[in-house]
Structure 1
Amino acid sequence: MKVGPNKCGAFSSLGNVVGRLSLRLWGSRALVSMALVLMVAGVRAEAVEIKAKAATLYDFTNKSQIFSKNSRVKLAPANLTKLMTAVTVQQAIHAGDITPLTTFPVSEHAWRTGGAPARVTTMFARLNSAVPVRDLMYGLTVQSANDAAIVLAEGLAGSEANFAREMNKFAKSIGMQNSNFTNPTGFPDENHKTTLEDLSILAAYVIEHEPELHSMFMTDRFTWNNITQRNKNPLMREIEGLDGFGAGFSEREGFAGIGTLDSNGRRYVAAIAGSPTVQDRIQDMKILLLPSFSGLKLQQLYQKGDRVSTAQVYGGKQMTVPLEVTDVVATLINPGQKDNYKLRVVYNGPIPAPVTKGMEVGEVQVLSKNDVIYRATLVTGEDVAMGDLQGRAWDALGEFFYQLF
């Protein structure tokens, strides 16, 4: 990435940021991504203090992300995988392939790998017994049972590997573009990866389309084989109002969690990964889901359709095109601390003409302590037609000299 000279306005507060940012710089559209950094004068605030390596907060009511920290970095989902497993099983029920009363046998593999002999979270399903899908689903969602996950996978697809292919197919269908699942349990595998952004998409899908499954995740306890276990999600007992989904741990990446709650009529989804300790995980989730817990403020930066900046156009009738946001832009800030927030506009350019209004060409980012805590898509604000031959020649010459230097 090359950072070029810029012309920008100074703003007295994050709430007053408007479309005054501009950038005039030639660069190869194939190789160069141009960035503009704006220090927001007068607003001094510290980054939201999340100890987790990655975190995201999604406003389900307004369908917008309002906080992001490394949310597109691939990570091992560990136990959070079971949310994907449960949704995949639900699709088979909706398709009529199985019913909640369909029974699946407990194989020796499922028993030894995910049952009592393995000393992992389990529903204690007996070897060679037949368990109804409905009970397996409660074991999966309430007890985080690994034997339930394997039995469901084998019963539906014949093997864990075949079931993982179904998981990946459905994940792609709902927009989880950066995920690859290799098993239904979340057991360690170098190729078993997802992102917090993708997990937020999955959680939002469950909230909107799978209310019955959502209710399973909030069930307090479940009994199988005469053994009663409380919900294995400790966050539900630590965060008032939390009604899903789960918590996990990876030796490589630390403690993780994904949760949702309704706050004053608005539903939020938070996900974290890489918290150093159990207590850090609880603290991080509270910071995201209960802003008043740490004095944070949801600050709006732009209204939907606001003009944020301009981008250079190559070979067009005009040299620049306005860049606009497609939705409300808002993020969490800590207004009481001393530090600087930054805004950064990033796009691949110059944009070759002709340009059509509404083309996705970049993003506006909010940074704190050099961490990107929020990003929003930028689109072109108007059409730009192809320029005449002379104008295109000058543009080509400008790009040639830029590449020389």
Structure 2
Amino acid sequence: MKRLLLSLALSVATLAVAGTSLAPGAPPAPLIDAPAWIIMDYHTGQVLAEQNPDERREPASLTKMMTSYVLAAEVQQGRVSLSDMATVSEKAWKLNKNASENSLMFLEVGKQVSLDDLHKGIIIQSGNDASIVVAEHIAGSEEAFATLMNNYAKKLGMRNSHFMNATGLPHEQHYSTARDMALLGAAIIRDFPDDYRWYSAKEFEWNGIKQPNRNSLLWDTSLNVDGIKTGHTSTAGFCLVSSATQGGMRLVATLLGGKSMPARAVESKKLLTWAFRNFDTVQAVKAGEPLTRPRVWYGDSETVEVGLAEPATLVLPRGRRQDLKANYSLLPDLQAPVAKGQVVGKLFLQLDGKDVAEHPLVALKDVPEGGVVRQVSDWFAKKFGD
């Protein structure tokens, strides 16, 4: 397919630049004091900056994001209900003996607790005991639940994650990455918005014990942070997946291996603030807007209007919209019948002379086969034309 210039101010649904740490033309990312981190735009999935995003590391209690995701998915599919009562096992209760080494909901052995309360205990209090009770109730054992976790991770495209438990307690085969945790955070926001609201809850009380959410960014009035999860072990360091909104933009950031609880908040805030200050969300092409009219052979119309099937959105460095260039390629020898929505080519966007995105071009109308006269006329035109 030969590319043709398209002198329009356009955008597409995603702007993904593989193998780069910054969008083209973006200002330098701030120095972040953590070994692995990433920040991405929620709506497009575009990575704005990253460092060692695919390095396998201990996720600690960020693991409970997947525990929460599996619970929400199982509820959605009707396999369990939030009103179900789960029995606290001795395995879960025994964690109380090492309360200084575990984050707990402080459940009592043999008691029954609703999945709804357990879910809040997982999200807000980061309860290891609550995570085990949920795992055992859904899958029969924590080991079987880990298999479910890995199955869901695969469906979400988490290519470098493997879970051995529902809590995030250290295990040599239990790992994830900054990128995978950002993908998981975005999936929770997208797939289970009703559950996501609990990630912004600042405290939860159970059995007379009130515990605060450990995500200190929820109290930061300079940012609109509404989630999502903290994690810490002595070997994993201090971890945080955070999400914040400003205007129509939502960002998701992951930081792994921070030096302290305050440091993980400071460094995450640094990332979020940098991205909000330096990027804009741009929507320049509406769905169904004709961009070109290529020739159609043997149809009842000589041309077909071509455009995008979905509204086109991307994130650009602030002030760079006017530098965005576009061109397109079309399938050769387009012949009727052509169905509305049929892919007939690609639209490419360029910034600083490099392709930064592509989007399928589709027919915006049906073009049925023409009559005999048109069929014969087009046959001669193709056979003997220039």
Report what 1:310 is aligned to: none
Distance 2:120 2:358 in 1: 44
Aligned to 1:97, what secondary structure does the other structure show? coil
| Residues 101 and 299 of structure 1, relative CA distance in 2, 3 Å threshold | closer
Equivalent position to 1:298, from 262, 276, 279: 279
Listed as ranges, the matches of 1:106-255 within 5 Å are: 106-113=88-95, 115=96, 117-119=98-100, 120-238=102-220, 240-255=223-238
Aligned to 1:197, what secondary structure does the other structure show? helix
| Residues 71 and 147 of structure 1, relative CA distance in 2, 3 Å threshold | same
Q: Does 1:86 align with 2:76?
A: no
TM-score (norm 2): 0.65
| Residues 44 and 61 of structure 1, relative CA distance in 2, 3 Å threshold | closer
Aligned to 1:91, what secondary structure does the other structure show? helix
Distance 1:231 1:209 in 2: 22
**Structure 1: gaps of 5 or more residues:** 1-34, 305-325, 333-356, 359-363, 365-375, 382-405
| Residues 330 and 166 of structure 1, relative CA distance in 2, 3 Å threshold | same
Does the Cα contact within 8 Å between 1:143 and 1:231 map onto a contact in 2?
Answer: yes
- Cα deviation for residue 45 of structure 1 reads 6.8
Does the Cα contact within 8 Å between 1:196 and 1:272 map onto a contact in 2?
Answer: yes
Listed as ranges, the matches of 1:299-378 within 5 Å are: 328=314, 330=316
Does the Cα contact within 8 Å between 2:36 and 2:256 map onto a contact in 1?
Answer: yes
Distance 1:232 1:82 in 2: 14
Distance 1:153 1:328 in 2: 39
More deviation, 154-163/59-68? 59-68
Report what 2:331 is aligned to: none
Does the Cα contact within 8 Å between 1:261 and 1:268 map onto a contact in 2?
Answer: yes
Equivalent position to 1:282, from 265, 272, 288: 265
1:266-324 deviation per Cα after TM superposition (whole angstroms, max 9, x unaligned):
1111111122222321221111112289xx63389xx99xxxxxxxxxxxxxxxxxxxx
Q: Which has the higher strand share?
A: 1
TM-score (norm 1): 0.62
Report what 1:338 is aligned to: none
Aligned length: 283
| Residues 328 and 146 of structure 1, relative CA distance in 2, 3 Å threshold | same
Q: Does 1:59 align with 2:41?
A: yes
The aligned amino acid for 2:278 is K
1:130-153 deviation per Cα after TM superposition (whole angstroms, max 9, x unaligned):
111001001111111110000001
Report what 1:48 is aligned to: 30
Report what 2:57 is aligned to: 75
- Cα deviation for residue 61 of structure 1 reads 2.8
- Cα deviation for residue 235 of structure 1 reads 2.8
- Cα deviation for residue 253 of structure 1 reads 3.7
Report what 1:260 is aligned to: 243
The aligned amino acid for 1:81 is T
Aligned to 1:290, what secondary structure does the other structure show? helix
Distance 1:44 1:117 in 2: 47
The aligned amino acid for 1:281 is R
Distance 1:56 1:329 in 2: 16
Does the Cα contact within 8 Å between 2:26 and 2:317 map onto a contact in 1?
Answer: no
Distance 1:47 1:261 in 2: 18
Distance 2:87 2:114 in 1: 9
Does the Cα contact within 8 Å between 2:229 and 2:240 map onto a contact in 1?
Answer: yes
| Residues 138 and 44 of structure 1, relative CA distance in 2, 3 Å threshold | closer
Aligned to 1:244, what secondary structure does the other structure show? strand
| Residues 139 and 379 of structure 1, relative CA distance in 2, 3 Å threshold | same
Does the Cα contact within 8 Å between 2:48 and 2:275 map onto a contact in 1?
Answer: no
Distance 2:42 2:31 in 1: 23
| Matched-pair identity in % | 31
The aligned amino acid for 1:80 is L
Distance 2:30 2:317 in 1: 10
Does the Cα contact within 8 Å between 1:51 and 1:284 map onto a contact in 2?
Answer: yes
**Structure 2: gaps of 5 or more residues:** 1-18, 286-311, 319-344, 361-386
Distance 1:47 1:155 in 2: 44
